[in-house]
Structure 1
């Protein structure tokens, strides 16, 4: 498996992966899957901000994708990133999610970020919660009933992982 920067040619596969989870899952609180043009715009925004946008590839196929992005717009949050990881249906527990998340952590640490936040849709999303826990994230909170999707209220789980020196020292 190869973890690499996402390319323009990956965007149809990325769009299809995300569309599946928007349509069939509760990890994303979007109700309608964005089209290729919108996913292209979103990737460009992430990359323009200097954040990594990665894919896991095996045998020429995109198995999943991940990116880091701005957590909040106010300047005091500038050392904090939020992560997103999505794996193609049928590829769960094959290592793509973990490899993507590990590389995201590595790159964000090298860029000087101090905290990564996982905002996980659905407290029943045990796959994502386990993935983040295995990668060193700690449970930071539960926001009950923050979204309404597929006919039910859905919680948001917050998990965090310190990067580099974390909060142990002032940023450089």
Structure 2
């Protein structure tokens, strides 16, 4: 079962919103507590695309298996060479290389854009050890931990920050970076 990756489009948003909504209501990969509406998710999708950043969908045997996208790391101009990657995988598709394929594709796209950093913010959950191991296997290093910063499901949650530096020698940027004037919602 090799995942097929493609650019997401508006037809994918119902599946994206459903997967994300399940994680909001039952998981800790996001600190949101109310699932966004389909319209809200469409706005987030449009904001990512306005920045020229990738939003990918994975399919296995023609069925939606997960999605990933890159968003600006922070809104200030000095951060324009870094993105944060977000990955969500359907429960039935976990353990089949979907997360790895999506993250590797995000890294390749960020590199091709001349960006320098990909950041992962991994919150506590039953799968956080696997997510940290996945990031580490693709060259990320742990940059720090925010301790007990999220309160969800009657418990405190940490966030582990992982960072991939795609130009570790400190060379100057090769391009203009992201245009951060469009803003994200």
Give the match for residue 116 of structure 1: 118
Give the match for residue 65 of structure 2: 63
Say which SS state the counterpart of residue 36 (structure 2) adopts.
coil
Q: Distance in 2 between matches of 1:57 and 1:92?
A: 12
Q: How much does 1:123 deviate?
A: 6.7
Give the match for residue 96 of structure 1: 98
TM-score by length of 1: 0.95
Please tell me whether the aligned partners of residues 29 and 125 of structure 2 are also in contact (alpha carbons under 8 angstroms): no
Q: How much does 1:134 deviate?
A: 1.6
Please tell me whether the aligned partners of residues 114 and 167 of structure 1 are also in contact (alpha carbons under 8 angstroms): no
Aligned 1:23-172 pairs, distance under 5 A? 23-122=25-124, 125-163=128-166, 165-166=167-168, 168-172=170-174
Say which SS state the counterpart of residue 153 (structure 1) adopts.
strand
Q: Distance in 1 between matches of 2:157 and 2:169?
A: 31
Structure 2: gaps (5+ residues)? 175-185
Question: C-alpha root-mean-square deviation of aligned residues, in Å?
Answer: 1.2
Count of residues in Structure 1 that have an aligned counterpart in Structure 2: 171
TM-score by length of 2: 0.89
Give the match for residue 2 of structure 1: 4
Following TM superposition, the consecutive aligned residue runs of length 4 or more in structure 1 with deviations greater than 3 angstroms are none
Deviation sequence 1:80-115 (CA, Å, 0-9, x none): 110000001221111011000000000000001001
Q: Distance in 2 between matches of 1:166 and 1:37?
A: 39
Q: Does structure 1 residue 17 correspond to structure 2 residue 22? A: no
Structure 1: gaps (5+ residues)? none
Q: Distance in 1 between matches of 2:72 and 2:59?
A: 25
Q: Distance in 1 between matches of 2:73 and 2:169?
A: 16
